[in-house]
Structure 1
Amino acid sequence: MSDVPPIEVLAEDFEDLKATVYGFASQLEDNTKKVKHLASAVASGGGQDDDDSGGTGKKPKTPPFILWLSGDQYTAELAALAAWVQDLLIPSYFGEISSSAPWCASWWQHPPAVARLHATWLAWQDLTNPDTCGLTGPSVWHRDHLDPMLAQLRAADGPFAGCMTNPDRPQHTVLPVPPVTPLPAQPV
């Protein structure tokens, strides 16, 4: 007997292979359209447009980059971020404050810190939602978002380094509760 399968089996295998290739081609086409859409949105300076939800006409649920907000929008977003920082981030992930791991009790006055904390908070919202993240979401959040953010913010030469060494600033050794309505970010 021959090891060559009958023509019917080969034809079926060929059709399966052809369907797989067409599926990949379709995915590639969809992804290419999404990339072009995002590139045109970025080029126009608009970031995400009103119809970034796959044609449903709804605006995206996530807020834009926090440093692009102003007025009441910025204040509301910063207040929500401050609650997350105070209630989850600081008690769960922050160790002792030192010159090698600084922290500023007035972190909201440091735009680079606000931007990094906000991005990490947005990722936390997405990656801890069981409806969207799967079982590995929290692990991905720790690895890809929390750990790099903490390394940058708490680096000896990071945005809070001057808070520990500048004589015009108080030494920050206790983590106080941020004000209910944090002040808008100001250049440091």
Structure 2
Amino acid sequence: MEPVRLPDSDLESIEASVRKLLDQSAEQARQLDSLASAPPPADSPFGAFGMPGMSGFAGLPSAAPPEPRPILELEGEEYEDELDSLSDWVDDFLVRVYGAEVTTAAPWCEQWQEHADVVAWLHALWLAYQQHTDPEAGPAGLFVWHRDFLTHAMATVRAAGGPLSACMTDPDRPAHRLLPGPPSSQRTTADEKPEAPDENGELGEADG
């Protein structure tokens, strides 16, 4: 049986295909070496097995978002951005749906963002709302939010003697005033001795 002789053009095409496959194999080998030598991220679940992080691969979940922080712990632009988002939720949803009439028994303030305690309460309420409207909270999530968070937070923020009691108590008469807080505590140091009453009941310096 005589050997089959291929035309020169076919041989050149086969050689080109083989070279292309070899180049692709070499490139894949370099990529695998690079992945194997890369240190895994500190939070990578594969770190214990000496494997690089896998979050960049398609089809695998990315890293979990950072846990939310209380708004009063934020500063600068981060605080302002969070306050803007909170204001949108309060003005567009909370007050429209749950904002009862403004009275002396239920005051409100159009400048509530300047009351730090009110900001803290409403931000916590907003975080709880996000948690309990998540699908993982189940069908009863919103009921739990109403029962355990909304009622208590709104009753505190809008209490007759609460943080907004010096603000608007009539919707036709907007008002805003920050109530002064208690003075700082006067802590006695170890070097100071408390005064002791004398025989007449008057305070005097304690004997050494």
Instruction: Identify the TM-score tier after normalising by the shorter chain.
Output: 0.5 to 0.7
Q: 1:149: Cα distance to partner? A: 0.2
Q: 1:163: Cα distance to partner? A: 1.1
The equivalent of 1:92 in structure 2 is: 97
The equivalent of 1:173 in structure 2 is: 171
The equivalent of 1:67 in structure 2 is: 72
**Match runs of 1:129-168 below 5 Å:** 129-130=134-135, 132-164=136-168
Question: Structure 1: which 5+ residue stretches go unaligned?
Answer: 1-49, 165-170, 177-185
Deviations 1:115-150 (A, max 9, x none): 0000000000110112x2101000000011100001
| Contact 2:86–2:126 (8 Å) recurs in 1 | yes
**Match runs of 1:1-188 below 5 Å:** 58=63, 60-130=65-135, 132-164=136-168, 173=171
Bigger share in helix: 1
Deviations 1:33-80 (A, max 9, x none): xxxxxxxxxxxxxxxxx96x9x99956534211001110000000000
Q: Percent identity over the alignment? A: 43
Paired with 1:73 and 1:175, the residues of 2 have a C-alpha distance of 33
Q: TM-score, normalised by structure 1?
A: 0.57
Question: Taking structure 1 as reference, are residues 62 and 175 closer, same or farther at Cα in structure 2, changes over 3 Å only?
Answer: farther
| Contact 2:166–2:179 (8 Å) recurs in 1 | no
Question: Taking structure 1 as reference, are residues 81 and 128 closer, same or farther at Cα in structure 2, changes over 3 Å only?
Answer: same
Question: Taking structure 1 as reference, are residues 129 and 59 closer, same or farther at Cα in structure 2, changes over 3 Å only?
Answer: closer
Paired with 1:175 and 1:141, the residues of 2 have a C-alpha distance of 32
Paired with 2:84 and 2:116, the residues of 1 have a C-alpha distance of 15
Paired with 1:148 and 1:104, the residues of 2 have a C-alpha distance of 18
Pick the structure with greater CA Rg.
Answer: 2
| Contact 1:105–1:175 (8 Å) recurs in 2 | no
| Contact 1:104–1:172 (8 Å) recurs in 2 | no
| Paired amino acid for 1:147 | T
Structure 1 segments of 4+ aligned residues over 6 angstroms from their partners = none
Paired with 1:174 and 1:149, the residues of 2 have a C-alpha distance of 25
Deviations 1:93-127 (A, max 9, x none): 01110110001110000011000000000000110
| Paired amino acid for 1:144 | D
| Contact 1:105–1:172 (8 Å) recurs in 2 | no
| Paired amino acid for 2:113 | W
Paired with 1:62 and 1:97, the residues of 2 have a C-alpha distance of 35
Q: TM-score, normalised by structure 2?
A: 0.52
